[in-house]
Every structure is written in C-alpha cells, then in structure tokens.
Chains A and B, each alone.
Chain A
Amino acid sequence: MTDRIPAGAAGRKPSPWATALLAVCPARVLADAGAARAANAALPANAGGVSRFLADLSSNHPLAYALLSFLVVTVAALALSILAERLMKRRGALKLRRGPPGGRRG
C-alpha cells in the first residue's frame, strides 16, 4: 500500500509547515479538492496504459469519466450476472430436483 503523495511534492523540498503537517497526519489525509490531479501526478512509472488513461480522463473530463464508468459497470454487471447464472445452472448448483431422481419415466 502506498499513501497518496500531494501533487508536486516529489522532487521538491517541502515547506516547514508541510513537514510538520505530514508528521502528524497520514499523507492521504492531505488529499484535497484536486485529488484526481494529485493522483495523476503521483502515478508510478510502471503504471499501465489503462491506469494512465483513466487518471487523465478523470482529471480533465470528469463527467465523461463518470458516464464511462457507469456504462462499463452496467454492461459488465449484466453480462457477468447472465454468465454466472448460466454457469451455475449448467453445473446444477441452482437446480432443485422436484422429485426423486429417476422416479418418473416414460
């Protein structure tokens, strides 16, 4: 786990008040109104393309990010629920036998 680093903190000498504040608070508490931009600035070098794209979208086009998230989650939830239902039915996990097995033939 890594704490959020405030934007611009890396590579710059922090001011005395910031040092004092950091000493008494976890760094993530300092996340302020520009949290999305801060997160973007604090992306590690090995962060994937998707992470960078989403961080950038969230910073610069927050409404587009919100709508994209909603659509992705809606499609994923519906697709996954249908898939899960079919898989479980196929495996018989949700089927209830209404009578004794093999009790009714012909």
Chain B
Amino acid sequence: MEAFTIFLPIAGVEFNWLILLLIGFSVGLMGGFFGIGGGPILTPALNIFGFPMAVAIGTGMLNVYGQSLVGFRKHAKLGNVQFRLGVIVGAAMLVGVELGKRMVMGLERYHLEGSTVRIVYLVLLSGLTARFLHDYRAARRRGDHRRDDAEIDPAGAEQAPPKPGIAPALAIGLGVGTLSGFLGVGGGFLLVPAFLYLLKLSTRAAVGTSVLCCVVSGAYGGIAYAAQGRMDLIAVLPMLVGASFGAQIGATAVQYARSHGLRLLYGIMLMMAAGGLALKQLDEMMPAMNFALAAQGMVLATALFISLVILAQLVRGVRAAQRNPSDSP
C-alpha cells in the first residue's frame, strides 16, 4: 500500500490517494445528484481521517468549488439554473463566507475550532435529517409518486419561473454563506431546502441554482482559507478526478429520481454523516476507545452505499426510458 500513500504537506498527514479518489467520486456523485458540493460529507470525512479542522474546511471548500463547477456545466446545459437568483444569493454568500472564516480562525487561537465545528455540524445535520425524513413520510402517506414537480405537469415548462424577492434571497445568502465559511461546505445542503420551502422553486431549479451558489462560495472560501495556509492542494486533485466522473453520472441520475425518493436518500446521507461526526467527537473525548476507526468505517460505508443507490437509480431509469422512450427526460 506504500505506493498509494502520499504526503500532504499542509495537512501534515500521510494519506492513501485511492481513498481520496473514492471519496471524491462519491461526493461528486452526490453533488451532481443532490445539487450539493458534498461538503457535509467531505469536510467531516477529511477531519475524521486526520486533517486539522481548519485545513479540512479549506480543502473541502476548494474541492466543493471544483466539483460544483463540473456539476454547474451539466445543470446549466439541462436548463436547471435560475441565474438571476443565483447571482443575488452568491453575492451575499461572499460576505457570509468571510464572516464564517473569521469565526473559525478566531476559535483556532483557542484550539476550539474542532469541537465547535463538529457540534454545529451535529445539530444542523440532525435537524435536517429529521426534516427530510418527515417530508418523505408525509409524501408516502399522500401516495405521492411524482418523479419531479416539473415533469408531472408538461405545461409547467411553459410557465415563467417564480421570481423571488431580493431581500429573502440576500438573507438566505448571508445566513447560508456564514455557515458555509464556518463549516467548509458549499452550502447546497441548506440552499436546496431553502429554495424549495422558502422560495417555492421546483426540485430541479433548486438543485441547479444551488450548484451555481456553491461555485461562488467554494471559490471564495477556498482562496480565503488557502491564503491563511489552511488548504491542501495535493489533497484536492485526486478528489477532483473522482468527482468529475461522479458529477456527470449524478446530474444525469437526478432526472430519473422521484422527488420523495430524493428526500429519503438525502436524509439517510445526512444521518450517516452526523453519526460519523459523533463518533469522531467521542474519539476526541475518549482517545483510548479508538472511535476514530469506527468513524472512518462509517464514512466509507456511507459513501459506498449512497453511490450504489444513485447508480442503481440511473440504471433503472435508463432501462425504463429505453423501454418507453416517451417517458425519457
């Protein structure tokens, strides 16, 4: 395994680049599929595998930028992006990301950034998991088997997209941007529900527009953390290779996803990420128990499980479309 080990100079750890490639592929797949940069999985994963928290955040953010760029090309081609809204929210996110970064750097002076960021992650991920699972159950009870809002009503494509006001868009951008800079995420996992529930966008428009916002926040965050010596470029590159292939597949697979199925999968992913972080926090509190190994196993198992489910959806969707071409997106 020596041949696969690389030294990451800024993180100060040795790492197996095959694991980076696998993490990148899974995160890219989820990025393309859910419209997130993969931060909720990636930053905790890097921290769980030994990156100092601030370096994990910086590295996560630049990786989010790279793979969001890949996902953005795909979503823009498919017409899933609302550019006006994306630019407004993205501009507010710049301010927020800077605020979040300053908070992390302040906490780092007292060596509190690791535990604080993990606890904030745990609270957020648990809340979002509960929300998505509740939505899923409600949709199941209604017998809602839609593939997507836009697809159930062909006339929907003809209607003008909703034009949300500037003030709510700026507020969402500032709030999500601050958390984004603090947690090392693109912000998609918060933007998608915000766009869905507050701005009433369709699932596809919410996913596509959030990818544009992730490009903006990831780029700024990556540069800002790198300028503080908290970003490892060598770690980003293998992840980007995996992500570029994963994102292509994920963005295609989302066209075949049922709306409520998407929410269930998203909920499971967030729950597993929270579990991994809880184990990491326990490891910091009780190093003798070696919870870190269990946390690492949980991250890898989650990445593999979600990837397999998304790939299965894609294969099933393509087969169905081949059987009935009028059904294809």
Chain A residues with CB under 8 Å of chain B are 1-5, 25-26, 28-33, 35-40, 42-44, 46-48, 50-52, 54-55, 58-59, 62-63, 65-70, 72-74, 76-78, 80-81, 83-85, 88, 93-94, 96-99
Query: Which residue of chain B has its CB nearest to the CB of A48?
Result: B7
Do A76 and B10 form a contact, CB below 8 Å, given A35-B230, A70-B222, A98-B325? no
Q: Give the contacting residue for A3; candidates B50, B55, B73, B114; CB below 8 A.
A: B50
Q: Which of B52, B66, B252, B284 lies in contact with A73, CB distance below 8 A? A: B66
Closest chain B residue to A44, Cβ basis = B7
* Inter-subunit contact A39/B9 (CB<8 Å): yes
A62 close to B219 (CB less than 8 A): no
Q: Which residues of B contact A (CB under 8 A)?
A: 7-15, 49-50, 52, 54-55, 62-63, 65-67, 69-70, 73-74, 108-109, 111, 114, 219, 222-224, 226-231, 233-234, 236-237, 240-241, 244-245, 247-249, 252, 284, 287, 318, 321-322, 325, 328
The majority secondary structure among interface residues of chain B is helix
Assembled-state Cα–Cα distance A83/B73 (Å): 13
CB pair B322 A96 closer than 8 Å: yes
User: Contacts A70-B223, A98-B328 known; A77 to B12 CB distance under 8 Å?
Assistant: no
Chain B residues positioned under 8 Å from A50 (CB to CB): 234
CB pair B10 A39 closer than 8 Å: yes
Chain A residues whose C-beta falls within 8 Å of the C-beta of B74 in the assembled complex: 81, 85
State which of B233, B240, B252 has its C-beta within 8 Å of the C-beta of A54.
B233
CB of B318 to closest CB in A, whole Å: 7
Instruction: Determine whether the beta carbon of A88 is less than 8 Å from that of B114.
Output: no
Provided the pairs A1-B50, A81-B70, A96-B322 are in contact, do residues A62 and B229 lie with their beta carbons within 8 angstroms?
Answer: yes
Q: Could you say which of A33, A39, A58, A77 contacts B108, with CB atoms under 8 Å apart? A: A33
CB distance from A34 to the nearest CB of B (A): 8
Partner of B229, one of A58, A72, A77: A58
Given contacts A1-B50, A96-B322, contact A59 B229 (CB under 8 A): yes
Residues from chain A with Cβ under 8 Å of B230 in the complex: 35-36
| Structural contact, A97 and B322, CB atoms closer than 8 A | yes
Given A39-B10, A52-B9, verify A1-B228 contact (CB < 8 Å).
no
Tell me the bound Cα distance from A51 to B321 in angstroms: 48
Report B-chain residues with C-beta under 8 Å of the C-beta of A43.
7, 9
Task: State the 6 A-B residue pairs at the shortest beta-carbon distance, nearest first.
Answer: A36-B229, A80-B244, A66-B226, A4-B12, A55-B9, A77-B66
Residues of B within 8 A of A77 (CB): 65-67, 69-70, 240, 244
Q: Which residue of A lies closest to B287 (CB)?
A: A26
Q: Which partner residue on chain A sits nearest B68 by CB separation?
A: A77
Are A72 and B244 neighbours in the complex by a CB distance under 8 Å? Answer: no
A–B complex contacts, Cβ < 8 Å, 26 sampled: A1-B14, A1-B49, A3-B50, A35-B55, A43-B9, A47-B9, A51-B9, A55-B10, A65-B226, A65-B233, A66-B222, A70-B223, A70-B226, A73-B63, A73-B233, A74-B66, A77-B66, A77-B69, A77-B244, A80-B240, A80-B241, A81-B74, A81-B248, A85-B74, A88-B249, A98-B328
Contact of B244 among A3, A32, A81 (CB under 8 A): A81
Distance to closest chain A CB from B299 (angstroms): 14
